[in-house]
Structure 1
């Protein structure tokens, strides 16, 4: 499960974060830069306040890429008793040497490397971090106020970052001026934690104090694990409130239809030899029947974001060549139905360059538990339409 990391300035804000169920309490001084370091006193007092009830992390500051300087600061912060120390790695030929210099300290606290999406992050450092005893790596932004993480790095590249970090054996965190609508989009990649500061403050001003109400809103978007000793690893009562478990949703509320229409992308697709080695224009239309959780939707906690559909299509297309339109449609339908609130999805994939009109396939898929056995086709709850620009249509199972 993805955890929520909240950056706080000291004990007072840490108490708010603790009360609202934040998973990781992170110390920083937001007035001193992207990774501005809190004072040693603030860190020590916060560690004493939390008293092991949550993991505590602290950042080292925006330090020059000089091994001795970074090692001395990491050693100082690790001595406060924090669980994690976050170290910023800015573009530098000395970055790998800085990482290796910290290997002797890896046993004193879990080391988390921070790379910056807006500073051309060097992903070749990932195996170096792993070899140097780092526990994880985080993707953030350095220039606060100049865009969110998703403004500086497309979703397909974030997906690749998460996968490469995992392959190196590192925990993965994502941050960078994240806002509430970003949360469901990033959760699809399964990061170990998402980090927040500005979204937790009044008016989203990261240098202001955090607000309990703002913290609660973000907390409610991220499913929580049950505490040790409970009967399941996931608290499904909480997930139901956040739209993750249809079993606990009142069916009398009905469904809403979320759609993406005329979504056009270049796609490597086709079974013919002439279709290999280049892209062709494909249009996607997707509609999803989504179980409602309230009669009065007010914020991201109450809705299923259409961004998830578009992000998913982009990620699937980025994997490489697809032989059949049917294969692509099935992959998209499966992706959408992975979200438990989706009861039914219709996917249309239309190739636009093979004639005077569009050609392709349209499929309908339903969640298995809601299907009815009505014969050979109805038993699977599936229908499929093959279409051509001239209007000829045929159905098959």
Structure 2
């Protein structure tokens, strides 16, 4: 289950984040750089105030890649009692040496190696971090004004990072000026956590205070893992956006058709020998029947993003040569159907360079009914309605 990490500046913002259902409270000074460190006393006070209600983490700052400097700062932050210490690894010939210097600390503290998507990260260092005992690795962005994570690390490249990190036993995090529309695009990669700052603040400006409303909107897009008997912070109008089918609640809403048309990519495809070793243009047309959440969609919590369809296509194409158009169409359909709200999908794959016209295949696939999921939704919705003082939140 993907957790939500919120970067906060101290005790007051930590309480806002906890009230909003955030899973990990991360101490950071957004005015002091990508990994700006807050004062040690502030970290201690916040850890004491959180008092185990949530996991806590803190960043070491934008430090030079000098082993002793990084080791000393990481040791200092670890002594505050945070659960995780995040260490930035900027491009340098000293990365391996800095990692090795932290190995003794990694034996007793959970360290997270932070790499930067906008600084040409070298994922070959992932096994180095694992060897030195790091708990996890994450990708962030160093220059917040120059784009989001997906501007520098597009969806088709994310599996390479996630799979490589997981193969070495590392927990995986994704961050970097993430916004609400990015969440449904990143959740299919099943990172261990998604990190946020700007999207949780007033006017989406990372140096302004946290906004309870903004925290709630982001939280509603990330499925929540509840402890037995714990109250949910979820607005149950948005169950479908959090991975449940709303069909049993209000079948009258029906479905919408979300489509991507004339989406052309260079693809390594073909069974003939002359089709191997190079790409050819392929056009994709995809239409998905998607369960509706509400009659009045207002934000990303209420919609199915067409970016999910395009990301699915890019991710499959990035895997390499495909023998058949039929295989490509089936793979796209299967990936789109993994989304809980997609009931059926039509996929058209058309090769454009084999003659004067296009040739290809068109398929339609439908999701098998998920009675267990529907039953669970009905039970949770009924339970919410029965809560004292709660009005009916199901739209």
TM-score, reference length from structure 1: 0.90
Instruction: State the SS of the aligned residue for 1:206.
Output: coil
Stretch deviating more after TM superposition (246-255 or 117-126): 246-255
Deviation at 1:197, TM superposition (A): 0.4
The structure with the largest helix share of the pair is 2
1:164 and 2:164 aligned: yes
Cα distance in structure 2, aligned partners of 1:15 and 1:58: 16
> Which residue is equivalent to 1:285?
285
Deviation at 1:320, TM superposition (A): 1.1
In structure 1, list runs of 5 or more residues that go unmatched: 371-397
Instruction: State the SS of the aligned residue for 2:180.
Output: coil
> Which residue is equivalent to 1:31?
31
Q: Are the aligned partners of 2:240 and 2:340 in contact in 1 as well (CA < 8 Å)?
A: no
Cα distance in structure 1, aligned partners of 2:228 and 2:100: 36
Q: Are the aligned partners of 1:223 and 1:238 in contact in 2 as well (CA < 8 Å)?
A: no
1:240 and 2:260 aligned: no
Stretch deviating more after TM superposition (208-217 or 146-155): 146-155
Number of residues paired by the alignment?
A: 367
What do residues 30-79 of structure 1 show as CA deviations (whole Å, max 9, x unaligned)? Answer: 11110000111110111111111110000000111111111111111101
What do residues 215-266 of structure 1 show as CA deviations (whole Å, max 9, x unaligned)? Answer: 0000000001121478xxxx99687242521154421101110000000011
> Which residue is equivalent to 1:144?
144
Deviation at 1:109, TM superposition (A): 2.0
Q: How does 1:205-224 map to 2 (within 5 A)?
A: 205-224=205-224
Which structure has more relative contact order (CA 8 Å, sep 6+)? It is 2
Instruction: State the SS of the aligned residue for 2:258.
Output: strand
What do residues 267-326 of structure 1 show as CA deviations (whole Å, max 9, x unaligned)? Answer: 111111111111111100000010001011001100110000000100101111111111
Cα distance in structure 2, aligned partners of 1:215 and 1:328: 38
Cα distance in structure 2, aligned partners of 1:89 and 1:36: 13
> Which residue is equivalent to 1:310?
310
> Which residue is equivalent to 1:106?
106
> Which residue is equivalent to 1:257?
257
Cα distance in structure 2, aligned partners of 1:319 and 1:140: 24
Q: Are the aligned partners of 2:260 and 2:310 in contact in 1 as well (CA < 8 Å)?
A: yes
Cα distance in structure 2, aligned partners of 1:338 and 1:195: 24
Cα distance in structure 2, aligned partners of 1:310 and 1:342: 15
In structure 2, list runs of 5 or more residues that go unmatched: 371-395
Cα distance in structure 2, aligned partners of 1:145 and 1:10: 24
Cα distance in structure 2, aligned partners of 1:250 and 1:315: 33
Cα distance in structure 1, aligned partners of 2:329 and 2:138: 33
What do residues 365-388 of structure 1 show as CA deviations (whole Å, max 9, x unaligned)? Answer: 111229xxxxxxxxxxxxxxxxxx
Deviation at 1:106, TM superposition (A): 1.4
> Which residue is equivalent to 1:69?
69
Stretch deviating more after TM superposition (157-166 or 246-255): 246-255
Deviation at 1:108, TM superposition (A): 3.2
Cα distance in structure 1, aligned partners of 2:250 and 2:163: 37
Distance of aligned partners of 1:279 and 1:241 in 2 relative to their CA distance in 1, 3 Å threshold: closer
Cα distance in structure 2, aligned partners of 1:194 and 1:291: 25
Distance of aligned partners of 1:338 and 1:280 in 2 relative to their CA distance in 1, 3 Å threshold: same
> Which residue is equivalent to 2:352?
352
Cα distance in structure 2, aligned partners of 1:68 and 1:12: 33
- How large is the Cα RMSD of the aligned pairs? 1.7
> Which residue is equivalent to 1:88?
88
> Which residue is equivalent to 1:51?
51
Cα distance in structure 2, aligned partners of 1:70 and 1:340: 44
Distance of aligned partners of 1:236 and 1:245 in 2 relative to their CA distance in 1, 3 Å threshold: farther
> Which residue is equivalent to 1:178?
178
Q: How does 1:309-388 map to 2 (within 5 A)?
A: 309-369=309-369
Q: Are the aligned partners of 2:222 and 2:242 in contact in 1 as well (CA < 8 Å)?
A: no
